[in-house]
Amino acid sequence: MQLEIITPDRKVFTGEASSVTFPGSEGQFQVLNSHAPMVSTLARGPVTVVTATGTQSFTVDGGVVEVLNNKVLVLAEAVL
């Protein structure tokens, strides 16, 4: 799936991911390939991205995530 993590001032990550784990405002959740469409709010915490080359983690300070047609867009308030 295509993942994009952006903040108001910069693009933090763009690329292919096999799974992404988010700090949802109601608890942690994971998105995999072909996930059902959804929109969720994010709390402060780690976004863990698994790619073909390894795992990366970004700490977001809240935001929103949208999943649609194997594209995941994260609009983070800030990445710490």
The DSSP symbol for 10 reads -
Domains of the chain: 2-76 (2.60.15.10)
What residues contact 46, with CB distance under 8 A and at least 6 apart? 21, 23, 57, 58, 59, 60
pLDDT digits (tens, 9 = 90+) for 4-16: 999 999 999 999 9
Which pTM does this prediction carry?
A: 0.93
Q: What is the mean pLDDT of residues 47-66?
A: 97
